[in-house]
Amino acid sequence: MDLANASIGQLMIPVEDLDQGVAFYRDTLGLPFLFMAPPQMAFFICGAVRLLVGVLPPGQPRARASAIYFRVDDIEAVAAALVAKGVVFAAPPHIVHRTASTALWLANFNDPDGNPLALMCELPLAAAA
């Protein structure tokens, strides 16, 4: 038995300040808020994946977070909306890979705790010019 047929059900995003984390993911990024599990967890939904924004238990070393890539349809518009809310991108949305028919766009940023996040968008090559 292995994970060949598994799917991602939930990702944990470690934060130092739960209220600040909730405000960022709910108000800045606009992710739908599901519920709180006080005192250290808040849950959001992104597509079919649940995000747990949580404070690590006392004494547990801070975990290194994996980058989370949010797939969007219009990377330029979403990036502009997030910039208006104070999000700072490492670089504007840009093409990182082209195939014969599509272009992959990325725009990297961090949450207030330094967790790596990014927007990603795959567009038909004609629309990516």
Integer Cα distance of 99 and 61 in angstroms: 41
Q: Are residues 49 and 2 in the same domain?
A: yes
Q: Are residues 35 and 70 in the same domain?
A: no
Q: Are residues 42 and 77 in the same domain?
A: no
Number of domains in the chain: 2
- CATH number at 51 reads 3.10.180.10
Q: Which domain holds residue 109?
A: 65-129
Q: Are residues 2 and 26 in the same domain?
A: yes
Q: Are residues 74 and 126 in the same domain?
A: yes
> Which contacts of 91-98 are long-range, i.e. CB under 8 A and separated by 24 or more positions?
93/119, 93/121, 95/128, 98/125, 98/128
Q: Are 21 and 42 in contact (CB under 8 A)?
A: yes
Quick one: pLDDT at residue 60?
80
| Half-sphere exposure of residue 123: CA atoms within 13 angstroms, side-chain side | 18
Quick one: pLDDT at residue 1?
81
pLDDT average per 10 residues of sequence, the chain (129 residues): 87 94 98 95 96 89 83 96 97 95 96 94 78
Q: What is the dihedral of CA 116, 18, 35, 86, to 10 degrees?
A: -50
Q: Are residues 110 and 86 in the same domain?
A: yes
- Domain final position from 57, 80, 98: 57
- Domain final position from 57, 81, 99: 57
What is the model's pTM? Answer: 0.88
